[in-house]
Amino acid sequence: MQELTHYINGAHVAGTSGRAADVYNPATGEVQSSVPLASAAEINQAVDIAAAAQPAWAAVNPQRRARVMMKFVDLLHRDMDKLAEALSREHGKTLPDAKGDVIRGLEVCEFCIGAPHLLKGEFTDSAGPGIDMYSLRQPLGVTAGITPFNFPAMIPMWMFAPAIVCGNAFILKPSERDPSVPLMLAELMEEAGLPKGILQVVNGDKEAVDALLDNETIQSIGFVGSTPIAAYIYERGCANGKRVQCFGGAKNHMIIMPDADMDQAADALVGAGYGAAGERCMAISVAVPVGDETADRLIEKLVPRIEALKVGPYTAGNDVDFGPVVTAAAKANIERLVQTGIDQGAKLVVDGRDFKLQGYEDGFFVGAHLFDNVTKDMDIYTTEIFGPVLSTVRAQSYEEAINLAIDHEYGNGTAIFTRDGDTARDFANRINIGMVGVNVPIPVPLAYHTFGGWKKSMFGDLNQHGPDAFKFYTRTKTVTARWPSGIKEGGEFSIPVME
């Protein structure tokens, strides 16, 4: 069994806490490696190293920092297959989906190559008599990120790429369920020219998280995960004076209007609902057809598509639609919620409960499920299932449909499928959700826009990647300067005002 490490000060370092976690192969259910869980002392050691290395990195001009990111992008392309295979082996994603995970992170790194422009300040000439005023964007210092299992390449890069190119050092605490790719990314960043100590990976659990939150040197914390933990990290981080950005759970609705292209809508729902076994915060988990006729047509289109899905390990080829979920506990929770849906009166149209894959009986595979006649008081509607389960809630009008999404506590993403521009425009303007798709099922913005939900899906003021990332990882300093043309006598004792 492989013994994984931390990555501290440019080297793989064994854990010293005496605690470790098993890393599984989700397809077989077997333990394939062990990852050390850091103590607070190990976290603090990494922070001290980062604090010592960061000032010299901040003094490097933005263009040279951007060149490191440029080289890193080249290395990601070079090692794409290696990264995807490692990701699939620990997470369970198909290889094409794993490559998509890497590429979405790579695109943020490409955006960060524009750091020299994005870090420019502002200048006002002659703000007063002989006075110039200018603003600077300066790095925070040592920053940190806590990232989830479902995107072990993309989300770390969403955090550390802008943080580092802004001149900060970064401590990454990835998910202990699939830690290999984050360790590989740290190696590649240093191969690209990043100084030792600027990007470090420290594996851990709650003890490590609390140590990051309580360390006075760390200036900001980023987090992606469940809403209860997001709220905890936000509250504790803010109480400790840190800048905090936390992204939580989701329950993403897709409204299907009667005029929608039903084949297009069904294809979109299958991909958005079952891709990555539903383990995406932007997965569509609730279909809302408007009118019973629309619902009946949609269900008719969905059933054969769902029943034809190929479920299997990533090694079975690129035609596999989705693989296992990440742990046995995740599988058990999904199965529990499916049974709750049945018990509470939803109609299970496609039943994946008896799914078994020959040769992989001990793997964490879950079959695809489709519910109809789901109501908003059911657990499968209120709870983020994070599995291959799609719920259909029938609405009798557009107003009823949009209010379902508006009234839900989560506000990460949503979509509407329609041919009517007026309806789509009204939906986009009225909906209280951060990311909206019009005939696009998973509206994850590209790297030069920002990613972020509303309501209980996000805690904080600034989104991930895009221009917001450069605001989050820098502070604005404003300088007012006057250079007297001659010797001035006497002080000024009243506040200066414009005349």
Q: Which residues are catalytic?
A: 281
Residues 6+ apart with CB under 8 A from 487: none
CA–CA distance, 251 with 91 (Å, rounded to integer): 22
Give the integer Cα–Cα distance in Å for 252 and 255.
10
- Write down the H helix ranges in 166-291: 180-191, 206-214, 227-239, 262-274
The H or E element containing residue 150 is: none
Among 441, 387, 431, which residue's Cα sits nearest to residue 408? 431
Contact 173, 160 (CB under 8 A): no
The residue whose two tokens read 């995807």 is 84
Q: Tokens 């299997």 sit at which residue? A: 312
| Of the candidates 305, 46, 341, 310, the residue with the CA atom closest to the CA atom of residue 197 | 46
Residues 6+ apart with CB under 8 A from 371: 341, 346, 347, 348, 349, 380, 389, 390, 391, 392
Instruction: Take residue 14 and report the two structure tokens written for it.
Output: 């064994």
C-alpha distances in angstroms, 56 versus 43, 163, 197, 218, 228? 21, 15, 11, 17, 38
Q: Please state, in angstroms and as integers, the Cα–Cα distance from residue 17 to each residue in 173, 372, 423, following that order.
A: 16, 49, 57
State how far the Cα of 194 lies from the Cα of 275, in Å rounded to an integer: 35
What span, in angstroms and rounded, lies between the C-alpha atoms of 126 and 219? 34
Alpha carbon distance 370, 57 (integer Å): 52
- DSSP conformation letters of 53-95: HHHHHHTS-HHHHHHHHHHHHHHHHHTHHHHHHHHHHHH---H
C-alpha span between 405 and 290 (Å, rounded)? 13
Q: Are the CB atoms for 251 and 407 separated by under 8 Å?
A: no
Name the DSSP class of 301.
H
**Do 192 and 165 touch, CB atoms closer than 8 A?**
no
